Structure 1
Amino acid sequence: MPKATEGEASGLINNGRRLFLLGMAGTAVVLTGCGGGGGGDAPVATPNQPSPPDPDPQPEPPPEPPAPQPDSHPPRGLHVSLEDSTRRTRTVTWFSDGSEAPDQRLEYDQPEADWDAETVQSRPFLKWVYARSEPTFGVDALTHRAMAPALDPGRPFRYRVGSPEGGWSRVYWLAPIDTQRWTFTHFGDHGISERAKRVVDESLQHPSDLLLLAGDLSYANGEQPIWDQWFDLAEPLLASTVTMAAPGNHEAKDGEGLTAGKAFKSRLTHPDPLLNNLNDNPGSTYYPFDINRVHFFVSSAGALIDDFSLAEELINLEIDLAKAALRRLRGEIDFIVLMQHYPIWTDQLGRSPANFALVTLQENILLRYGVDLLLVGHDHVYQRSHPMAYGFRSPLGYVQVMAGTGGQSVRLFDEAPQDWSASQFMGIGLVHYQVEPGRITGEFWGAAPEGLDDDSRQTVTGPFQRHDRFVVEKRGFLACRDCALPARTPAELLADYPEIVADTRRRNHLALEHCG
């Protein structure tokens, strides 16, 4: 018989040990001494005999779920605006804290029908695009912008923003804008007071396709974190309505010289103007856009005179309105609307007109091209004019609607209403417009203060009610034909530009002095 190798011998020895231990399996073993402790009556453990059952067994508690971790970069301050084609795209702008953030994106889709609230929030999205990001002026944060392209204008737009790593916003839903009947809202001089919040809440009770903010949005006045408070307060409205804004005199305090209005330009997103050599920023301070058969132009009216863009803006305004008047004559649009912060005419003492040189030129442009509506703010009251020209009633003039009633404060009228004034109100509120073929109907919804003395005027607790209603009709063919004029040359348009600059600087200084 051959001898076992060393490895085989080791295996035999190990097998033998296993057999020996198996053979001991039926023997009871009791260990005593050597620290064995215990008395002789201790139970003996016998293999193959089950232990007595626990008299009251307890189930194992389920493991506790891990505590939810807060999002590392939650998106905030959402607003929707137009940056390109008004019918085929939507742009969403938002912010995240810190100088770095995970790649941000806009997720969106266009449902075929209305969904219930739970489905809107829970249904997965079908499309997404990455955002472009840049530092936010004056705070440790980033501004993110993303455009949803190639949209079907006849279907809703559902979206959220953020990132899987940093966190998501809630889901917002924008209804499609009807081509025949649609709405927009206008007010200015908002701020972050309880009055301002009431105006946001009331605006949500009058759903609109478009929100126009006529300047003085946050009243940060150079304190940049206030902008974040304003966006947080206004987000329910800004994120669910296409929002377009004009800068006001208080926006000028965010930056100096060429950086005047930098917070406005850094945080908002608007279309580029036709000519754009100096206004190189996404949050343009003057720009045109269309909604269906209404053409809009948003103007700074010199609110940011120190950034040296006013001359270029006036040339843009002239060319744009000349083109719009020709389009109206061709039947492509029905109305031309200009929005800016400063009114041209007002019954506030010393402000009518506060800038004679610029007002004269603006009035000439408005009348030359047949602007139908001039939407303004600045004075913290509501006042609507009859159709007017150069401070007098005129059937071929424009209607100025001043709604500086966003909630920053409530003022009184300093003078008795002039002949051009058709309606006045002191309090807070908004103007809601219904657009239909050949007609725009406006309604002012306002809440009055508890009193008109200094102590009670800033307390507004009463209900919102309709205080004014007016109708602007489409101009006739002959009136449209007379306004379809060619744009003038820059030399002709800006012949008095040095005087315009001097008067505008004087007006802006007086406005800030009056505001405190």
Structure 2
Amino acid sequence: MESKLFLLLVTVGFTVIAGEYVRPQPRKDLQVPWDAKPSSQSQQVHISLAGDKHMRVTWVTGDRSAPSIVEYGTSSGKYSSVAQGESTSYSYMIYKSGLIHHTVIGPLEHDTVYFYKCGGQGPEFQLKTPAAQFPITFSVAGDLGQTGWTKSTLEHIERCKYDVHLLPGDLSYADYLQPRWDTFGELVQPLASARPWMVTQGNHEKESIPFLKDGFESYNSRWKMPYKESGSSSNLYYSFEVAGAHIIMLGSYTDYDEHSDQYKWLKADLSKVDRQKTPWLLVVFHVPWYNSNKAHQGEGDSMMAAMEPLLYAASVDIVFAGHVHAYERSNRVNSGKSNTCGAVHITIGDGGNREGLAQRYEHPSPEWSVFREASFGHGELEIVNSTHAFWTWHRNDDDEPVRSDQVWMTSLVSSGCVAEKTHELRKILMSP
């Protein structure tokens, strides 16, 4: 009897400490079956924003003579416009990629469904352009990979009525096995061909081989982002605008100190931001600066030291990061402490990677940490208007409508922080 009572007390005590939720185990890599398609048929189709009212369509063909044309229009099967693009390919040791096509279409009307066909043949796809004004919804998930949990994440995102997907690094987890880039492209095509996917690089995109291969060749060849359109010289960092938000995608794995090209570009980009036109300012990169998980501790410190003063002076509203395979949301924070004029930092590297969850946290939690949990999932940011946005995070093993974490956010424009820091920002932007 005493042993049973002891067991009951231990069980109750564990339940109180751990809560009702039991963290899931990793799932195995997906084995994507070989699907033989005509060599000229478009595969791995995805789209991305490419400047005002334009969209870049990317796809792969086995036929190296296939044209880089996209036919498109607002009626199925009736294409009123055609655009000519460019193509590239790359070799990686014994692997030879297919022909990778990049074609920009537009100008496109806002909040409109377009039907399109790649290369003059093959299946018809459809996409929806974002609205010109609020509300606008972003889905967010990093560290995707190709596992059973990835599949679950994508199914959840598909049920979300989002306009643009943000991916803060670690896409395919190919890790030198180049065919895994192809299977990843096929895996995400149903979603990425219908809504723009805006990505930045993570450590698993490096794939460098000393003296033989520079880093990011596969990533840069396959996932071309609007870096030229935003005045950047590198596909590893760029910016874009959608509705009333200005989004800056930074590179955690390229130089970022005050003398780097990335830092200089960031200053130039911020100098062009008009908070009357785009009251919300978001930043996305891979390695988190605010992280109370024991995984990857301190890895973002040097980038934070170089760039946080600039982002704080610019009144960045929200920072999204990945890398840590868990979820965490902070208060508005700056210089390691809660600050009402700082950014909310959200770590969301929980898309479904093969390495499993990062389950060990520091205790007690830092005062700036509001919510943290090692689970797979995705986030949704609905920017309702110039002053308010609603953030939700959804566990994969709940129904998508279930909000595991949620918070209303008020823009720094509406709080007066932007006006207060105008002089501080100008001083940094004018410094050599």
TM-score normalised over the length of structure 2:
0.83
Aligned to 1:108: 72
In structure 1, the residue corresponding to 2:143 is in which secondary structure? coil
- Residue by residue over 1:70-97, the C-alpha shift from the partner in whole angstroms, topping out at 9 and shown as x without a partner, is 6342111111101222xx2111001112
Tell me the equivalent position of 1:240. 194
Aligned-pair distance for 1:435?
A: 1.2
Q: How does 1:409-424 map to 2 (within 5 A)?
A: 409-416=356-363, 417-424=365-372
User: Do residues 323 (structure 1) and 272 (structure 2) align?
Assistant: yes
Gaps of 5+ in 2: 1-35
Helix, strand or coil for the counterpart of 1:471? strand
CA distance in 2, matches of 1:93, 1:404: 25
Alignment-derived partner of residue 246 in structure 2? 295
Q: Deviations over 1:466-487 (max 9, x none)?
A: 2000122122374212333226
Corresponding residue to 1:90 among 45, 55, 61: 55
**In 2, Cα distance between the equivalents of 1:221 and 1:309?**
30
Note if contact 2:39-2:61 (Cα within 8 Å) is conserved in structure 1: no
The correspondence for 1:340, drawn from 272, 285, 291, is 285
1:472 aligned partner: 409
CA contact (8 A) 1:246 1:299 kept: yes
Aligned-partner residue type, residue 108 of structure 1: Y
Q: From the superposition, tell whether residues 210 and 310 of structure 1 become closer, same or farther in structure 2 (CA, over 3 Å).
A: farther
Aligned to 1:313: 262
The aligned runs of 1:324-403 (5 Å cut-off) are 324=273, 327-328=274-275, 331-349=276-294, 351-403=296-348
**Do structure 1's residue 486 and structure 2's residue 422 form an aligned pair?**
no
1:407 corresponds in structure 2 to 352
Aligned equivalents of 2:231, 2:54: Cα separation in 1: 22
Output the CA distance in 2 between the equivalents of 1:369 and 1:79. Answer: 32
SS of the residue corresponding to residue 291 of structure 2 reads: coil
CA RMSD of aligned residues (A): 2.5
Cα distance in 2, alignment partners of residues 407 and 183 from structure 1: 22
Displaced runs of 4+ in structure 1, greater than 6 A? 307-310
Rounded to whole Å, the distance in 1 between the matches of 2:74 and 2:421 is: 40
Q: Which amino acid aligns with 1:384?
A: R
Are residue 286 (structure 1) and residue 243 (structure 2) matched?
Answer: no
Aligned equivalents of 1:242 and 1:249: distance in 2? 22
The farther-off stretch of 136-145 and 375-384 is: 136-145
Q: Which residue of 2 aligns with 1:38?
A: none
Whole-Å separation in 2 of the counterparts to 1:439 and 1:136: 45
TM-superposed deviation, 1:463: 4.6
Distance 1:256 1:126, change over 3 A: farther
Matching of residues 227-266 of structure 1 within 5 Å: 227-254=181-208, 259-266=214-221
Query: Could you say if the C-alpha distance between residues 477 and 433 of structure 1 is closer, same or farther in structure 2, counting changes exceeding 3 Å?
Result: closer
Tell me which amino acid in the other structure corresponds to 2:222. R
Q: State whether structure 2 residue 396 is matched by structure 1 residue 442.
A: no
CA spacing shift, 1:352–1:216, aligned 2, 3 Å: same
- Measured against aligned partners, the alpha-carbon deviations of 1:373-410 in whole angstroms (never above 9, x if no partner) come to 00111000010001111221111111001111110022
Whole-angstrom distance in 1 between the partners of 2:60 and 2:210: 23
Pair 1:256–1:212, CA change in 2 (3 A):
farther
| Structure 2 counterpart of 1:481, one-letter code | A
Q: Provide the secondary structure at the position in 1 that maps to 2:172.
A: coil
Q: Which has the larger radius of gyration?
A: 1
Q: For the residues of structure 1 that align with 2:41 and 2:210, how far apart are their CA atoms?
A: 31
**Structure 1 position 146, deviation (Å):** 0.9
Look up the equivalent residue of 2:69 and give its one-letter code: R
**2:130 and 2:312 mapped to 1: Cα distance?**
33
Q: What letter corresponds to residue 57 of structure 2 in structure 1?
A: V
The more displaced of 187-196 and 468-477 is: 468-477
TM superposition score normalised by structure 1: 0.70
State the Cα distance separating 1:315 from its structure 2 match: 1.1
- 2:47/2:195 contact within 8 Å kept: yes
1:145-197 deviation line (CA, Å, top 9, x unaligned)? 1111222224322212123xxx4133223255251212111110011111111
Partner Cα separation in structure 2 for residue 370 and residue 162 of structure 1: 44
One-letter amino acid of the counterpart of residue 434, structure 1: E
The answer to whether the 8 Å contact 1:93/1:145 transfers is yes
> Of the candidates 157, 160, 163, which is equivalent to residue 203 of structure 1?
157
Question: How many angstroms does 1:275 deviate by?
Answer: 5.0
**One-letter code aligned to 2:215:** A
